[in-house]
Structure 1
Amino acid sequence: MAAAPTSSAAARRPHALLVPFPCSGHINPTLHLARLLHSAGFVVTFVSTEHNHALMRARARGGGEGFRYEAIPGGLSPSARRAHDYGFGVLRAVRAHWPGHLRELIARLNSVADDSSSSSSSPPPPVTCVVASELMSFALDVAASLGVAAYVLWGTSACGLSCGLAVRELRRRAYVPLKDASYLTNGYLDTPIDWIAGMPTVRLGDVSSFVRTLDPTSFALRVEEDEANSCARAQGLILNTFDDLESDVLEALKDEFPRVYTIGPLAAAMHGRVVDRANGHGGAAAGLSLWEEDAACMTWLDAQPSGAVLYVSFGSLTVMSPDNIAELAWGLAESRRPFLWVVRPGLVAGGINALPDGFVSETKDRCFIAEWCAQEQVLRHRAVGAFLTHSGWNSSTESICSGVPMICWPGFADQYINSRYVCDEWGIGLRLDEELRREQVAAHVEELMGGGGGRGEEMRRSAAKWKAMAESATANGGSSYVSLDKLVEQLRLETE
């Protein structure tokens, strides 16, 4: 057995403190990166709210030696967690409450590391680098004030980042805010925006949901602009994508930022590289969720024919109107195909009870409705043949890694540009109108999943091609594998 490291050796061990925005879509890619760094020998401190901290500690089954969770008061009441604008409520609370707490946490960790009289048998080494997800740019300033290197993990698409960087110019050219409400429906959102480097075919409406505003002081649009531009204050930019997927826009970003590390898709990289250490830590990372997952859905999938099931899920923040939930439900019913539908608490007022009368009885022999499920496992299941999604970046890349084509219904932030690329650039999806119609839902399901060739068959072939390219990127010697090695090497240098 190897000898325990000396105190001087422990002090030189790199210590990464990761600070994700405390919502599921940001926590998961950051946690994947945390596991990758830990498997490379880093001490890792993973920071979240007290509420999330309790859930993660209960469900992660331990992170192994050198992997620690730290909680910061989130400033959110239980009622705020159920609010319609939960994401922005979290952002305002985090900005108000976290900077001082984060500074105190880093100072405390470093003082314990420097205190030779500490009662801890193995105090952590000093924090050598901070990795903050998008929306947490204040962490860059906290790190800089303490003399600690800071990096940004931009967990969404490179295209989404480039669109955020373009917001300032959109303001300058008076594309936004919109002049009046008629601009939402008169075709103005189809205006070509052909000057974003590496993205010559984008329309105004693709840039973000936040361009759909009449308010010159829009908080959401200002956040998108500020957070994208804050990347320039970081020592490095880490992207959850791979070179072949977004090649043109990545070339443009690499001209703007001196250190860009494309290490995604992070879920695939984590599955391929994390060593299963103490307490089954690799598997725990893959399965971690802030919601209780319904394992019975996997048993149901086991009984379905290969490629027959439509998986339907809109992530952790989407809120649907009663009209849209009804149109979606009857569209699924009219498709006549088996489906697994995630109806999480908060998706629609009333939850599963808001589904239209007669829907459950009509579809009960070919549907499974769950409050939450292990999405990566579902998408990798042989029975799943298509994914009806909100086009969040985690969902999009998980579908790409699984070779599953998509039906896209974007509604928030970068989901519009993700959907644009899924459907028009990568050829692996169909897009639904913003106001759902049951006829279109059923038609898209049939086109994507039906036999007889046509566009559906072509998209299934394209999805298989992109899956192979994602696997190649994260395999030994692939572009993301090499980029991750370079990132690890650079972060090690921060200890010197």
Structure 2
Amino acid sequence: MEHTSISTSPLQANAHVLLLPLPLQGHVAPFMKLGHQLVRHGSKVTFLTTESIRSQIEKVDEEEEHMRIISVPDGLALEDDHKDDNRLVQSFLHVIPGHLENLIRKTNEDELIGIGQITCLIVDVVLSRDPIEIAEKMGLKHAIFFPSAPGVLALILHIPKLIEAGIIDADDGTVEKNEKIQLSPNLPAMDSADFIWKRPGNKSNFNQKDVFQYLLLVNQILKVPNWVLCNWFHELDPSANALLPNIISVGPLPAHDGKSTGNFRSGDLTCLPWLDRQSPGSVIYIAFGSTSKFSQQQFHELAFGLELIGKPFLWAVRSDFIDGISIEYPDGFQDRVKNLGKIVNWAPQEKVLAHPSIACYMTHCGWNSTMESINMGIPMLCWPYFGDQFWNKSCVCYGWKVGLEINPDENRMVTRHEIKRKVDELLSDEGIKANALKLKELAQNNAYEGGSSKNFRDFVAQLML
């Protein structure tokens, strides 16, 4: 994809930002939005990812003439499982420093026509150690992009204090004192069970010690870059900007021209005319991101729950949604609900959440989905799976009060009756609806008027100082 010059002010004309995300769906998508916003504010952008991911996002995204996407090998052999996220990340961490240095040197020595020299590196916080060192060595400005919630950043920065207080073990983060931790005066206290290294979900390759030790490293790295860009807006946690002296909140990151961007899958657009035929505020939207897995039994309980509710629903069911086996719906379920609901493999989520027929969103509470729901003013039913999603759930339900949590029973099963009970409760709660609309207004003001939008303009201006 050829990179072209941009007509803008002289101050911003030569800003050329290299973006380096972790090669996973939940990281690539916000980085792509970040890239589009940088272009909108006058920067040139090079987006660096793996060869396999480039082929996926180019199938989904329309070409952006002011952004070039380039790719490098991920370091895995052809016979390796490229869907093993842990293995992919470990391999990419190993190979990316060499690729990155070669790319910057080649670009800045050759000064390819229409591209110009790279002036700044923005790197995913998970990848940041070696790339930040390379940027410093090569004289580039550098920033870390933190794509998670403000409370997660606060937790990472508080790890040394938690160790010192004897609350967690210094080796692997094992909880020594089971108590709630108040990380922010504006958000609920964090339960020690929700520490992000303690929430593996069903991921068999999760290693608590490795993740904890890496977070200790990130704690130090966060103090190095010129800036830390964060995907939230100030009002979500007014105390967050005091965590580090160089924090810039740039959220919410809006969809590019109203379209979802950075997705590895194409959204099924047939759901949009179906939504058009539904009454305003009547549809339950159900989607659990790109990695959540259900057992067959839990999948059936969810299906029976939707049938029991008896309201229109749009359900995104990935082909790999059932853990280890192919999807099987309850006998006769699809025939019984064919006039009630619509099931798709992947939805164009931001278009769906913006649709007037949507009443609420049943979600895994990934931060991207949480921000998208907040940005559209949609109340949430929270069903977290792993990592930071449990903390995001607490913020949604008990901090901002724009959703309700769905609770498993003593057998760790979310029953159909719990699903119906919580949907009915959410749809009748006028306070939650009002809170969601207030947050939407704040989000929109940040995206298009002041706050984060101004931060973006100031950041791009600083790139050329």
Choose the corresponding residue for 1:390, options 356, 364, 367: 364
Aligned-residue offset at 1:228: 4.2
1:169 — aligned with what? 161
Question: Which residue of 221, 225, 231 corresponds with 2:212?
Answer: 221
After TM superposition, give the deviation of residue 129 of structure 1 in Å. Answer: 0.4
Question: What TM-score does the superposition give when structure 1 sets the normalisation length?
Answer: 0.83
1:147 to 133, 139, 143: 139
Contact kept in structure 2, 1:209 and 1:416, CA below 8 Å? no
Q: Which residue of 2 aligns with 1:56?
A: 57
Q: Match for residue 67 of structure 2?
A: 67
Aligned length: 448
Q: Is the 8 A contact 1:72 1:102 kept in 2?
A: no
**Residue deviations 1:384-412, cap 9 Å, x none?**
10000010111011101111000001121
| Contact 2:361–2:379 (Cα < 8 Å) also in 1 | yes
Q: Of residues 192, 201, 204 in structure 2, which corresponds to 1:204?
A: 192
Q: Distance in 2 between matches of 1:385 and 1:458?
A: 14
Residue 459 of structure 2 corresponds to residue 481 of structure 1: no
Render the CA deviation track for 1:234-265: whole Å, top value 9, x for unaligned.
110111111111113x1431xxx222111110
> In 2 relative to 1, CA 218–289 (structure 1 residues): closer, same or farther, beyond 3 Å?
same
Correspondence for 1:296 among 248, 270, 292: 270
Whether contact under 8 Å (2:187, 2:395) holds in the other structure is: no
Partner Cα separation in structure 1 for residue 70 and residue 363 of structure 2? 32
Change (3 A) 1:199 1:296: closer
What amino acid sits opposite 1:241 in the alignment?
A: W
| Conserved 8 A contact 1:132-1:151 | yes
Aligned amino acid, residue 422 of structure 1: V
CA 78–210 in structure 1, closer or farther in 2 if over 3 Å, else same: farther
1:457 aligns to 2:430 (yes or no) = yes
Whole-angstrom CA distance in 2 between matches of 1:219 and 1:358: 45
Q: 1:283 Cα deviation (Å)? A: 5.5
SS across alignment from 1:221: helix
The aligned amino acid for 1:98 is I
Assess, with a 3 A threshold, how the Cα gap between structure 1 residues 25 and 427 changes in structure 2: closer, same or farther. Answer: same
How far residue 439 of structure 1 moved from its aligned partner, in angstroms, is: 1.4
| 1:111 aligned counterpart, secondary structure | helix
Provide the residue aligned with 1:439 in structure 2: 417
Query: Residue by residue, what CA displacement relative to the aligned partner does 1:394-445 show, whole Å, maximum 9, x if unpaired?
Result: 1011101111000001121211111111000111111112532221111011
CA contact (8 A) 2:151 2:183 kept: no
| Residue in structure 2 matched with residue 124 of structure 1 by the alignment | 115
Deviations 1:12-69 (A, max 9, x none): 71110000111121112111111121122222100111011122333333221x4211
Verify the 8 A CA contact 2:12 2:460 in the aligned structure 1.
no
Structure 2: segments with no counterpart, 5+ residues: none
Contact 1:130 1:149 in 2 (8 A): yes
Q: Distance in 1 between matches of 2:295 and 2:116?
A: 50
**Separation of aligned partners in 2, 1:308 and 1:352:** 30
Structure 1 counterpart of 2:242, one-letter code: A
After superposition, the Cα gap between the structure-2 partners of 1:104 and 1:170, relative to the gap in structure 1 and judged at 3 Å, is same
Q: CA RMSD in A?
A: 3.0
Any conservation in 2 of the 1:392–1:415 contact (CA below 8 Å)? yes
The partner residue of 1:371 within 324, 327, 345 is 345
Q: Which of 272, 281, 296 is matched with 1:322 structurally?
A: 296
Aligned to 2:247: 260
Cα gap change, 1:148 to 1:24, in 2 (>3 Å): same
Alignment of 1:64-143 (within 5 A): 64=65, 66-76=66-76, 77=78, 80-83=81-84, 86=85, 88-113=86-111, 122-137=113-128, 138-143=130-135
- Go from structure 1 to structure 2 and tell me whether the alpha carbon gap of 1:397 and 1:235 turns closer, same or farther (over 3 Å shift): same
What's 2:43 paired with? 42
What letter is aligned with 1:448? L
Deviation, 1:487, is 1.0
Q: Does 1:241 align with 2:232?
A: yes
Report if aligned partners of 1:340, 1:369 keep a CA contact under 8 Å in 2. yes
Aligned-residue offset at 1:458: 1.2
**Aligned CA distance change for structure 1 residues 221 and 357 (closer, same or farther; 3 Å):** farther
Report Cα offsets for 1:174-216 as digits up to 9, x if no partner: 444699xxx99xxx99721136676562221233253679x99
> CA deviation digits over 1:122-173, x for unaligned, max 9?
2521111000122111321221222212101111111111122233433444
Q: Distance in 1 between matches of 2:142 and 2:98?
A: 17
TM (norm. structure 2) is: 0.88
Hey, which of these two has a bigger chunk of helix by percent? 1
Distance verdict in 2 for CA 1:308–1:484, change over 3 Å = same
Distance verdict in 2 for CA 1:234–1:322, change over 3 Å: same
Could you say if the C-alpha distance between residues 89 and 169 of structure 1 is closer, same or farther in structure 2, counting changes exceeding 3 Å? farther
Structure 1: gaps of 5 or more residues? 114-119, 272-281, 451-455
2:187 touches 2:399 (CA, 8 Å); kept in 1? no
8 Å contact from structure 2 (residues 124, 145) kept in 1: yes
> Residue 470 of structure 1: SS of its match in structure 2?
helix
- The CA distance in 2 between the partners of 1:177 and 1:330, in whole Å, is 43
The one-letter code sitting in structure 2 at the alignment partner of 1:71 is: S
Closer, same or farther: CA 10–379 of 1 in aligned 2, 3 Å: closer
Q: Secondary structure at the match of 1:353?
A: coil
Q: Distance in 1 between matches of 2:328 and 2:177?
A: 32
Tell me the secondary structure at the aligned position of residue 81 of structure 1. coil
Distance (Å, rounded) in 1 between the aligned partners of 2:316 and 2:212: 29
CA distance in 1, matches of 2:346, 2:208: 36
Counterpart AA for 1:331? G
Distance 1:217 1:28, change over 3 A: closer
Match of 1:191 in 2: 179
